[in-house]
Structure 1
Amino acid sequence: MLKWIKRLLIGLLGIIVLMVGGGYWFLQSTLPKVSGEAHFKGLLAPVTISRETNGVVHIRAENETDMFYAQGLIHAQDRLWQMEFQRRIGAGRLSEILGNKAIEQDKFLKTWGFYRAAEQAYTALNAESKAVIDAYVAGINGYLESDPPLPIEFKLLGVKPAKWTPADVLVWSKMMSFNLAGNRRAELRRYGLLAKGLAEERIAELMPLYPKIATPIDSTTPLIHPTTSDYHLMEALWQADAFTPPMTEASNNWVLSGQRTVSGKALLANDPHLQMSNPSLWYLVHLSAPTYDAIGASLPGLPCIVIGHNQAIAWGVTNVEADVEDVYVLEETEDKQGYVYQNEVVPYNTRTETIKVKGEADQTFIVKESRYGVVITELVADAPKTKPLALRWTGHDPDDTTFSAYYAINKAKNWTEFNAAMRYYIAPSQNFIYADTAGNIGHIVSGRLPIRKAGHSGLYPVLGNGDWDWQGFIPFEELPRRYNPPEGYIITANHNISPENYPYTISLEWGGEPYRYERIKQLIDAKEKHDLSSMRAIQLDQLSLLYTDFRPYLQNLPIISPTAQAALQRLLAWKGEMSPTSPEATLFIAWYMAFSHLPQTETGESWFFYPRYLLNALKSGDSACAQQKRTCLEIAGDVFETVVKQWSTDIPKWGLVHQAMFNHPILTHTPLAPLFDRQVDFGGERFTVNVGWVNPETLKTTHVPSYRQLIDFSQLDNSAYIHPMGQSGNVMSSHFDDLLALWQKGEYLTMQTKGYTEANKLILKP
């Protein structure tokens, strides 16, 4: 109660600040009309928009064109500022509203050309898919033309939203695709370590590959040894890449056939783990027309359902972790106007980009592009004289028809149609799991996956001279897929999904460690038959297999002080449950994060991403320990003593230090932050099923289950879903954060298409 009183008082302070700074306009309503009737040009027939008491929206239309028009309209009603902010990010147009502090971010985003890629993707779509996007855009613009009340952010920044275009719709999907294709970061990290003077063998120790994958050291691999200047360049590129949300290798989905369920019908679960946002990344909606009926999670700014079910099938997604990016080192000409490719000089393609800056003159710069893609070293101002790097990425292919895949999935009625939809899918590569009313279950790896020459592992940058170009893509018919496996279930959790003896290499790194996959499998195998309740328990599980792996070494730590000895015994008696109420969880993660600094002298950073390196060091020793003339266990023991000393005997509960942060993207560092920002106690860690990614510096989390879904084919309207925050992005709405407490406690909303309590009804008429 005291926490909520404090929040109320702080919120009132924020309102006072607004009123003093902005005058009477704050008192004006910023909430959209949600009841009665409203007339909009472009509609063919009336559309009913019903809202449940929790803000979930149901759209019922007489045709698909009106249905998607209405989806665009209701997305704009509830998430207009979020949509505006997202399209500005994708187009590199934040400086227009934020001034010169956003110039470097805009340069990064314009250099990559996400908006140009979105324009090309729209051109590549078939007529049916274009019609869906056009109807959705018409709905957004119809709402804007009605002179609606604008969210507070527009008024604070003096921004008036312009008309939407199809590229505005597709650009955010390009951004998400880029963030989910993170191999470039690992390549640049290895390249930077080479530049620091580390040997390839040492890098293989520091960055061990996924379990059961041997390091492919091949004498034919053209390993390029960069200079010290390249290391500083890699650091700068890493900082530039921070302008996009960091990738997390954490999403779960699994599906059980009737042979493994109490009801005899299929069950499907999915929880994608992405960076938290305020408002939520997702928007819950039910779309219904005579030829279309689907419910689930949509993305504001995009039509259709991304994750959910229709009346015949259900689906869920996780990131494949496929290696769909390669960094190429170019042999540039002396005049820096071209590069050598297949023994010939090829001039760069160049384009001039302009950044409009609020209150200042426009800024222009030149972007260089090679046959591999953008020259990414141009992102770094005053870059040292090094060989330029370019990035090849499937998401930049101009024939990206991924949106058509989602539209076809939404309407698929069986496994055959579901597979046919996947032919359109390009990027980001996702594990799609499937279930249907007939009891069938399945899994297919989607996306355009490159084939590399022998000797090209994809782990390091290679020469961009034509010798190491991709050899095509894995044929669609040969992408991994499973249908009704004999064990009666399928799990994907960013782990290695390559079939045994698979002739192609999808990735060598995958999602860090297979802990989440292993824990889900343990829990499924623990019961012969499952129901919605046990599926929920699996989805909310926070037992740490990371702790399980480190516990034997913790048992042997050479501890001296009585206080640390007592803390260690307490930790060893713990079962590894990363509950928000657990002090032991705090102690373990604080020790792990501190110990992960072990190779910092070599790497320049904490090494918490690579637990297998730390485990190997404790098991077999490591040169980082030998340099200190101590064993790794001795160093780990000293680290434990230091961690315990900072708290003495008063170790805080995990939820108090590991809070989930939902911060406003612009206002979080202003006096208005208390009005918008939210944070709640949360459990878990990077490798628990109910994930809670840990910031190594603050111990807080910004990566959690962004959406939870449980589909029950024994009674589809008994299925469940939830996302954090609320349906509205308007801080004045009662639905701004009304789902946050439910999500935090592991509760769900019922996924109803009928029989729900209707709080508001709005009739749209032509």
Structure 2
Amino acid sequence: MANLLVKSTKIIFVILILVVVTIYFYLRQSLPILEGQVQADVEQTVIVSRDEQGIAQINGSNRRDVSVALGYLHAQERFFQMDLLRRNSAGELSELFGELALKHDKKIRVHQFRKRVTQFVSLLTEEQQSILQSYTAGVNQGLEDLAANPFEYALLSATPKPWLPEDSMLVLYSMYMDLQYEYGDRELLLGAMSDLLSEEGFQFLIPEGSNWDAAVDGTQLPKGEMPAGKVFADDLSAANALNLANAETINHAQQFELFPDNQEGFKGSNNWAVSGNVSKTGSAIVADDMHLGIAVPNIWYRTSLRYTANDQPLLIDGVSLPGTPAIVVGSNHNIAWGFTNSYGDWNDLIKLVVSEDGTQYLTPEGYKSFILEQEAIDIKGQQAKSVTIKLTQWGPVIGEDHQGNLLAMRWVAHDAEGVNFNLFGLEYAQNVEQAIEAAHSAGIPAQNLMVGDRYGSIAWTIAGAIPRKFGLDNTGSQGWAVPQDWSTGDIGWSGYLNSDEYPVVLNPEKNRLWTGNSRVVGDDMYQKLGNGGYALGARSQQIRDGLMAIEEFTEQDLLDIQNDDKAVFLTPWHRYLLDTVLTDEFVKEHDYAQLVEQLNQWQARASVDSVGYLFVRQFRLNLRDELFSPLTKMMQEASKDNALDLSFRPIRSQVEIPMWQLLTQQPQHLLPEGHASWNEFSQSVASATYQELVEKYGSIDKATWGAHNTTNIQHPLSKAIPALGWLLDMPQEPVRGDTFMPRVQGVAFGSSQRMVVSPGHEHQAIFHMPSSQSGHPLSPFYGKGHDDWVKGVASPLLPGVTKYTLEFTPK
């Protein structure tokens, strides 16, 4: 019997070895080609050199040829990522993932992005179409030249589909979905709040401005006034109301998300620039770090292009987005540029007036019939399912509001102006003025462009189409911020702004510019942009103050600001806890002396060993959830009959202002029910926070920020198959930084790259990003460079010593 057991164990062991060897050799077959010669659809020879991190420098005679090589590299290193991006916006994920993705696909099909790009690709310029065709040819050859399909397809029992030119536009649409509210979430929420709250209660909860405002033009907007009456109805302020965190879980638990975001931070970014007047290089210096969900591989692909255009040699260094041939941020050695999400108002919900039989809707020209179209969704292992799309002259019907009114959506992304490849113009720009001109016609999700040139000039403007609106205020919490009836013709959109109408700030007197997803400008410029849910200005203010504290800048100075983890935003909360909440009597009664000691030693920054930072942060979040639980309950009640997802994420930063007003002014008529005083209310939250952390970490001294903020940067497949995590995921590490500070850092959210560059001085420029260039776990540069990003240390923008050379020759 013992011998049989030994033999069985040996057989199982041999089988496991054979399985591991088989998997290893399959993975080896799907590795990209790093060296040698490839015949391709190029006019002249293209040389690709890669350093030990896999940073690719592509040398060719023209943009078309280097696009072939770029497509080839993207396909060999990142095809699965590219495929997910195109399927995400096309609503075609069910074909790979089956029933799991069906809800997502059915919902996103309302935008008919696949249909739109099929039309829009023919509207591109002749040059852009040529570049896109070349890129597509490179992608398909790169995929075909792999000895085996990318390993992800073997795990999914699927076969990759060839790339189409229009697929690159679908990738842009995935960025729209990631950076803007594709179903009008904020407007839907504000519409419900406006209807269900008193006018003064609504204005109090959604203030125009705050003490955190940090616009570059110094404009300030007012906070809300404390309401004289109650904000919430008596029957909705019960102590058992759902809390904010639970509401968000309920709303999103069943949704398929390629880019899950459980962070409080906005998907956006920081960027800033200083002019040559205050830089040691004499050129401008531009810093940029884009905040997104972080996975394996990283969303960006480090790329250097070398080619000739108009008889001029071009040197371009930065990052490309796999699936597109464009350089997203970087430098062409004459200008450097970076983006942050703008959060202007780029879509609007239209409250439709529908005929009695429901077949028509009212327009300024009278009733018109809805256009109905069918789309089929292919589902892995099942028969295809059909969805009906209902269209109006303004845009598709996306659902209903809390009152059952049918809603249509007008969105920049639905128009040809919203999707193109005019971003190529930044590669050719010789100075700030030319960069601004190129940005204004770019078909991308509207971004804050920060640009500086080698001559020392700096500028901010919007890159992307800006709709021309009429009939309503475009800045407050009413007007365009809530769904409106367009049937009278008194309000609506009338095309897009011309370049000379765009907001621009060029070479400001203080020689410094900054953005951080908060409001950048005021007055007439603000009116043109609107308010699509700006972030609180805490990050922008900390960046501004950091810039003002330095008289002359090096690149390292700007990296230091990117790494700034000082807890400026939470400092008032820290003082509130120590001065008001944790009284001597309360501390003695609950034996919180150790907690007070940790708070006194909190370091005033988001450092990994700080217990006090984590406590202050969680206290604020718990107090917010408890204080606004009646609002959550109200929205849940309002939406339960309409199956709405009235998430409070779109206003999560705005409620900071009324929350702080309530705590500091302590109005008795707004005291949360069941509490004798505002201090007693805050003390109850402090006790709950203490118990929460002790239960989670074992003792209060172990509840450090690093224990809470430990990275979990995963490959999409390891989320579904955890056993693959050891092979595919990045190491889990405690990291410093948080949401309301320049060094934005969460578990799987934060700076998707950090760049600091002075045009003309690229040899001393700084760049790093998480994960790595490669999406293949056996790649020699899998995970290379990730540690620089974790530690925030300077690493070069330009590729290092060539380690691999791949040559593309004409067929």
The TM-score with structure 2 as length reference comes to: 0.83
For residues 121-200 of structure 1, the aligned pairs below 5 Å read 121-182=120-181, 184-193=184-193, 197-200=196-199
Question: Are positions 1:719 and 2:748 aligned together?
Answer: no
Equivalent residue for 2:713, pick from 656, 662, 679:
662
Secondary structure of the structure 2 residue equivalent to 1:367: strand
Deviation at 1:644, TM superposition (A): 2.1
Identify the residue that residue 307 of structure 1 maps to in structure 2: 329
Identify the residue that residue 764 of structure 1 maps to in structure 2: 808
Identify the residue that residue 495 of structure 1 maps to in structure 2: 518
Render the CA deviation track for 1:713-749: whole Å, top value 9, x for unaligned. 4622111111100100112223222222221000243
Contact 2:275 2:285 in 1 (8 A): yes
Identify the residue that residue 618 of structure 1 maps to in structure 2: 663
Question: Are positions 1:372 and 2:390 aligned together?
Answer: no
Secondary structure of the structure 2 residue equivalent to 1:496: coil
For residues 500-511 of structure 1, the aligned pairs below 5 Å read 500=523, 502=525, 504-508=527-531, 510-511=533-534
Equivalent residue for 1:213, pick from 210, 221, 224:
221
1: CA distance between counterparts of 2:119 and 2:200? 42
Report the AA paired with residue 213 of structure 1: L
Secondary structure of the structure 2 residue equivalent to 1:681: coil
Question: Are positions 1:516 and 2:544 aligned together?
Answer: no
2: CA distance between counterparts of 1:652 and 1:673? 26
Contact 1:69 1:137 in 2 (8 A): yes
Render the CA deviation track for 1:418-444: whole Å, top value 9, x for unaligned. 132124224411111111122222222
For residues 239-388 of structure 1, the aligned pairs below 5 Å read 243=257, 245=259, 248-291=266-309, 292-342=314-364, 344-377=366-399, 386-388=404-406
Identify the residue that residue 638 of structure 2 maps to in structure 1: none
Q: 1:735 to 1:194 in 2, by over 3 A?
A: same
Contact 1:178 1:395 in 2 (8 A): no
1: CA distance between counterparts of 2:349 and 2:258? 18
Equivalent residue for 2:729, pick from 677, 697, 700:
677
In structure 1, runs of 5+ residues without a counterpart are: 1-12, 218-227, 694-700
Q: 1:660 to 1:521 in 2, by over 3 A?
A: same
Q: 1:652 to 1:329 in 2, by over 3 A?
A: same
2: CA distance between counterparts of 1:373 and 1:165? 26
Deviation at 1:461, TM superposition (A): 1.1
Secondary structure of the structure 2 residue equivalent to 1:368: strand
Deviates more, 1:515-524 or 1:466-475: 466-475
Secondary structure of the structure 2 residue equivalent to 1:749: coil
Report the AA paired with residue 737 of structure 2: G
Identify the residue that residue 452 of structure 2 maps to in structure 1: 435
For residues 391-410 of structure 1, the aligned pairs below 5 Å read 391-404=409-422, 406-410=423-427
Secondary structure of the structure 2 residue equivalent to 1:680: coil
Report the AA paired with residue 545 of structure 2: Q
2: CA distance between counterparts of 1:154 and 1:584? 46
Report the AA paired with residue 323 of structure 2: G
Q: 1:198 to 1:156 in 2, by over 3 A?
A: same
Equivalent residue for 1:687, pick from 730, 740, 746:
740
2: CA distance between counterparts of 1:234 and 1:673? 27
How many percent of aligned residue pairs carry the same amino acid? 25
Identify the residue that residue 580 of structure 2 maps to in structure 1: 556
Secondary structure of the structure 2 residue equivalent to 1:317: strand
Render the CA deviation track for 1:268-295: whole Å, top value 9, x for unaligned. 1000111112210101010111223211
Contact 2:224 2:658 in 1 (8 A): no
Identify the residue that residue 221 of structure 1 maps to in structure 2: none
Q: 1:238 to 1:263 in 2, by over 3 A?
A: same
For residues 602-641 of structure 1, the aligned pairs below 5 Å read 602-604=631-633, 609=653, 610-621=655-666, 625-641=671-687
Secondary structure of the structure 1 residue equivalent to 2:492: coil
2: CA distance between counterparts of 1:18 and 1:321? 53
Secondary structure of the structure 2 residue equivalent to 1:570: helix
Report the AA paired with residue 190 of structure 1: L
2: CA distance between counterparts of 1:606 and 1:432? 28
Deviation at 1:242, TM superposition (A): 7.0
The TM-score with structure 1 as length reference comes to: 0.88
1: CA distance between counterparts of 2:772 and 2:484? 46
Deviation at 1:60, TM superposition (A): 0.6
Report the AA paired with residue 685 of structure 1: D
Deviation at 1:330, TM superposition (A): 1.0
Q: 1:493 to 1:707 in 2, by over 3 A?
A: same
Q: 1:503 to 1:545 in 2, by over 3 A?
A: closer
Q: 1:216 to 1:487 in 2, by over 3 A?
A: same
Report the AA paired with residue 588 of structure 1: V
Question: Are positions 1:105 and 2:122 aligned together?
Answer: no
Contact 1:401 1:424 in 2 (8 A): no
Deviation at 1:528, TM superposition (A): 1.0
Identify the residue that residue 6 of structure 1 maps to in structure 2: none
Render the CA deviation track for 1:216-273: whole Å, top value 9, x for unaligned. 99xxxxxxxxxx9xxxx99998779874745825411111112212333321100011
What number of residue pairs does the alignment pair up?
A: 723
Could you say what the CA RMSD is over the residues aligned between the two structures, in angstroms?
Answer: 3.0
Report the AA paired with residue 521 of structure 2: S
2: CA distance between counterparts of 1:23 and 1:533? 44
Secondary structure of the structure 1 residue equivalent to 2:140: helix
Deviation at 1:499, TM superposition (A): 4.4
Deviation at 1:541, TM superposition (A): 0.5
1: CA distance between counterparts of 2:702 and 2:318? 41
Deviation at 1:589, TM superposition (A): 1.4
Secondary structure of the structure 2 residue equivalent to 1:675: helix
2: CA distance between counterparts of 1:568 and 1:471? 59
Report the AA paired with residue 729 of structure 2: D
Equivalent residue for 1:577, pick from 605, 610, 614:
605
Identify the residue that residue 414 of structure 1 maps to in structure 2: 431
Secondary structure of the structure 1 residue equivalent to 2:85: helix
Identify the residue that residue 601 of structure 1 maps to in structure 2: 630
Identify the residue that residue 242 of structure 2 maps to in structure 1: none
Contact 2:565 2:743 in 1 (8 A): yes
Contact 2:103 2:255 in 1 (8 A): no
2: CA distance between counterparts of 1:19 and 1:420? 57
2: CA distance between counterparts of 1:256 and 1:384? 47
Equivalent residue for 1:592, pick from 579, 602, 620:
620
Equivalent residue for 1:547, pick from 561, 570, 576:
570
Deviation at 1:190, TM superposition (A): 2.2
Deviation at 1:24, TM superposition (A): 8.0
